[in-house]
Chain A
Amino acid sequence: MDDAELAQAAARGDSDAFGGLIDRHGMAARRAARAILRDDDDADDAVQEGMLAAWRAIDRYDVARPFRPWLMRIVVNAALDARRRGRVRHAEPIAETLESGGLGPDRMAEASLLRARIDAGLAELPERQRIALVLFDAEGWGHAEIAATLGVPEGTVRSYVFHARRAMRRALGTLAEGMK
């Protein structure tokens, strides 16, 4: 079943169908929320809030339109709203998730430095550039879908991605090439 079919089933009250949509898009939503809030618990709460809002509003989803931007827009708004309302618990750095198993001390230090640089690079970016970059490069979305999510023209998304990449390039330097 594709997204639209699952959404239609969910609109008829099938929570398992909505669960299928969560399985497909939950992690992308989490990464986008973490790019905005940069705290595990706040981001997860925002995603849950967004998913529940989407579940309650699923019968208003227009199946003629792509599902992903509709859902992501709700989740992104929930995260932005959480941030605006100052519900962010604290500014702890994101937990270390980059795989470092099997690396020697030098490589582990390099991995740690890479994490710090990714964090610093993301922190420098304006919110919308950060979201656009994550959806484009991490999630592989097209400009049109990101534009629909952010409610801006496609050209603006291209500009966001361009500036975000340039900033990340500056932040990461040559470090990233040595990691893979």
Chain B
Amino acid sequence: MTQSPFNAEHDPELGALLRERLGGPAPEQFLRRLRAAVVAAPRADQWDVLDAWSRPRVMALAIAAGLLLWLGAWFENGQPAVDPGVMVASLPTHAVVSSQTPAVDEIMAALRDRP
């Protein structure tokens, strides 16, 4: 260690000690092993990459579509069935039988109070 820790230059002596200590045995053999591993593991081609990329997204889309369908069905079932006969019956009797035109307020109130 010939240099101050403040020095921004490389410390060749410390560097050499670290290289020797961390180098590990049989470097040529190690590099051959790495090269052999690469040759034995061919890279995924573009279709594999696309496949790997798209599979989770297709799943997510399918789940989202299913959820939307389920929500749609749920809302559909939550609404009362519309029956024109019930609409007429819900009007006040005098509005139906009277010869006079019913007041707008009465019609609106009847519509609002419909079950």
Given contacts A165-B14, A180-B13, contact A27 B31 (CB under 8 A): yes
A75-125: which residues lie under 8 A (CB-CB) from chain B? 94-95, 97-99, 114-115, 118-119, 122
Q: Is the CB of B22 within 8 A of A51?
A: no
**Least Cβ–Cβ distance between B103 and chain A, in angstroms:** 73
**Least Cβ–Cβ distance between B60 and chain A, in angstroms:** 22
Q: Is the CB of A176 within 8 A of B43?
A: no
A24-70: which residues lie under 8 A (CB-CB) from chain B? 26-27, 30-31, 34-35, 40, 43-44, 47-48, 51-52, 55-56, 58-59
**Least Cβ–Cβ distance between A53 and chain B, in angstroms:** 10
Q: Is the CB of A35 within 8 A of B22?
A: yes
Q: Is the CB of A30 within 8 A of B24?
A: yes
Closest to A119 in B: B21
Q: Is the CB of B35 within 8 A of A22?
A: yes
**Least Cβ–Cβ distance between A121 and chain B, in angstroms:** 10
> A137: CB under 8 A from chain B?
yes
Closest to B8 in A: A158
- By the criterion of a CB under 8 Å from any partner CB, how many residues of chain A are at the interface? 54
**Least Cβ–Cβ distance between B14 and chain A, in angstroms:** 5
> A151: CB under 8 A from chain B?
no
Given contacts A165-B5, A177-B1, contact A97 B35 (CB under 8 A): no
- Rounded to whole angstroms, the CA-CA distance of A95 and B22 in the bound complex is 9
Q: Mark contacts of B11-38 with chain A using CB atoms, 8 A cut-off: 1 yes-contact digit, 0 otherwise.
A: 1011111111111110100110111011
What residues of A have a CB within 8 angstroms of the CB of B22 in the complex?
A: 30-31, 34-35, 94, 97, 134, 138
**Residues of A bordering B, CB below 8 Å:** 13, 15, 18-19, 22-23, 26-27, 30-31, 34-35, 40, 43-44, 47-48, 51-52, 55-56, 58-59, 94-95, 97-99, 114-115, 118-119, 122, 133-134, 136-140, 143, 158, 161-163, 165-166, 168-169, 172, 176-177, 179-180
